[in-house]
Amino acid sequence: MNRTNNAEMEFAVNHVPPSDDKYLSVMDVDTVRGALRFHRSFPEYEVTPLHHLKKMSNYLGIRGLYVKDESYRFGLNAFKVLGGSYAIASYIAKKSGMHVDDLPYDVLSSDEFIEKMGQTTFYTATDGNHGRGVAWSAHRLGQKAVVRMPHGSAETRRANIAKEGAEGSIEDLNYDDCVRLAAAQAKRDPNGVIIQDTAWRGYTDIPSWIMQGYGTLALEADRQLLADGVERPTHVIVQAGVGSLAGAVVGYFANKYKGNEPIMCVCEAGSAACLYRSAAKGTGQTVRVKGKLDTIMAGLACGEPNVIGWDILRNHARGLAACPDWMSAKGSRMYGVPLAGDPVVISGESGSVTMGFLASIMMFPRYQAIKEALELDENSQVLLISTEGNTDPMRFREIVWDGLYGVRHRGEEVIK
């Protein structure tokens, strides 16, 4: 593997014609509060930290930099369990003719309820974190899980899924083809259900529930900012694979601050930037990215947009970026070796790209136009989400210890 990468970022200011915004209601604030109530019913539930990087914000020339650290989520080192658990609960609620509010953890996991409702096998495709979250949730709630992973997935991640009692395999397919494989296998299983955050025609309920589950982290972060004296973030920068997390976070803040939304921006892996390419096309139609989708950002290596997430983003995201791998690696190193006085944040490759993006556009003159398009300045209060911790230890050490994907910015003065 090439240990450096001088690829450039691509950025599109969002000029896509707005739609009727019919999917914004998926992330209604009251609905997100319901998801939070469900998550709070788990014994493992704790609010994940919101770190205020005061020294870094001063260095970058902004007023405040806040990072939601999802490496602490349910002991699973990533945020994805929020979506899988809430979608499983919502599916069981619909199947039983009940409301998810009436099915907290202690009810769903009880022997009496499981015997009455029987077991469902939840099939899914994953680059690691989503599958582990589905496997963990299924196991905790007395259900079953089958997980398919694309080529290049880390064996560590497959092993973590197996530890949760799920059947898991790494296939010689890319992520989107693994989704199709899992969906086909679920269809052949009389007790099978596909649980995926990629939405397509005729398959929107479960992706909507997954997004609502992700809303828990946005609601927590919003409350934590308020407690720290920030009435509303001026900017929210969020990463995207298929766009479910991005749509969930952007959708939550668009609902909460309707008429006075933060400026919101989406970062993708450059080799799998289906949302950026859809925005750059400018028509409203989605663009699929095919092939192997090679990137160190395994959790973002998705080439087909979630139609629900895309619809929210086309209406509410200011800009979308296709980020090279060095930008993610830079973010991991900056989080892991912070300025004196700031907390250490252990952020994996998919968790750190927004930090690398923000730092780059604030530090390097060639990104001045992007900085201006996003109106980032000394008054900005920026929210980032570190979506995963050290989920692939070997790769993490290569980045932080060995300088994998280090970049020299020759002939360019850093803005300080």
The closest of 82, 76, 16 to 221, measured between CA atoms, is 82
Confidence of residue 200 (pLDDT cuts 50, 70, 90): confident
Whole-number pLDDT of residue 335: 98
124 and 181 in contact (C-beta within 8 Å)? no
What mean pLDDT comes out for the span 376-392? Answer: 97
Q: What is the Cα–Cα distance from 299 to 278, expressed in whole angstroms?
A: 19
Contacts of 242 (CB under 8 A, 6+ apart): 197, 198, 274, 302, 304, 305, 306, 309
The model's pTM: 0.95
Residue given tokens 């899992």 in the structure block: 182
pLDDT band at 2 (very low <50, low <70, confident <90, very high): very low
Tally of CB atoms within 10 A around 37: 13
Measured from the Cβ of residue 190, the count of other Cβ atoms closer than 10 Å reads 6
Provide mean pLDDT across the span 361-371: 96
| Predicted local confidence at residue 3, as pLDDT | 47
| Backbone region of residue 107 per phi and psi (left: phi > 0; alpha: psi in -120 to 50; beta: other values) | alpha
Q: 50-52 and 64-69: which strand pairing?
A: antiparallel
In this structure, the dihedral spanned by the alpha carbons of residues 398, 362, 52 and 268, taken in order and rounded to 10 degrees, is -50
Element (H, E) at 67: strand 64-69
Give the separation between CA 349 and CA 298, rounded to whole angstroms: 7
Per-residue pLDDT tens over the stretch 51-75? 999 999 999 999 999 999 999 999 9
**For residue 346, what pLDDT band results from cuts at 50, 70 and 90?**
very high
**Cα distance between residue 311 and residue 242, in whole Å:** 12
d(CA 350, CA 129): 10
pLDDT for position 244: 97
State what percent of residues in the chain have pLDDT above 70.
96
Distance of CA 94 to the CA centre of its chain: 26
As a whole number, mean pLDDT of residues 40-58 equals 98
Neighbours of 261 (CB within 10 A): 16
Q: Torsion angle, CA of 324/328/334/336, rounded to 10 degrees? A: -160
Residue 1 pLDDT grade (very low, low, confident, very high; cuts 50, 70, 90) = very low
Contact (Cβ atoms closer than 8 angstroms) between residue 12 and residue 320: yes
Determine the Cα–Cα distance for residues 400 and 385; give it in Å rounded to an integer.
Answer: 19
pLDDT single digits (tens) 109-153: 999 999 999 999 999 999 879 999 999 999 999 999 999 999 988
Task: Name 167's bridge partners.
Answer: 146
The residues with which 383 forms a beta bridge, in sequence order, are: 66, 236
What pLDDT shows up at residue 119? 94
Give catalytic residue positions.
80, 127
- pLDDT of 211 reads 98
**H helices within 287-404, ranges in order?**
307-316, 325-336, 353-363, 368-373, 393-400
- Which of 40, 38, 56, 194 lies closest to 130, judged by CA? 194
Confidence (pLDDT) at 152? 86
Tokens of 42: 């788990």
Q: Is the pLDDT of residue 213 over 50?
A: yes
**What is the pLDDT, as a whole number, of residue 383?**
99
pLDDT by residue (tens digit) across 222-269?
A: 999 999 999 999 999 999 999 999 999 999 999 999 999 999 999 999
pLDDT at 318: 98
276 and 314 Cβ atoms separated by less than 8 Å: no
Q: Which residue has the tokens 């469900």?
A: 38
Q: Can you tell me the mean pLDDT for 348-376?
A: 97
The string of pLDDT tens digits covering residues 301-341 is 999 999 999 999 999 999 999 999 999 999 999 999 999 99
pLDDT tier for residue 292 given thresholds of 50, 70 and 90: confident
Torsion of CA 203, 205, 211, 213, to 10 degrees: -140
Q: Taking 80 as the threshold, does the pLDDT of residue 413 lie above it?
A: no
Strand order, beta sheet including 319-323: 10-13, 319-323, 263-269, 235-239, 381-386, 64-69, 50-52
For tokens 């009436």, the residue is 102
Q: Mean pLDDT over residues 337-359, rounded?
A: 98
For residue 189, the Cα-to-chain-centroid distance in whole angstroms is 29
Domains of the chain: 10-79+206-400 (3.40.50.1100), 81-202 (3.40.50.1100)
Structure tokens, 317: 């995201």
State how far the Cα of 72 lies from the Cα of 297, in Å rounded to an integer. Answer: 19
Answer yes or no: is pLDDT of 416 > 80. Answer: no
Q: Which whole number is the average pLDDT over 279-295?
A: 94
Q: Which of 13-27, 31-45, 161-175 has the lowest mean pLDDT?
A: 161-175
Q: Let me know how long the chain is.
A: 416
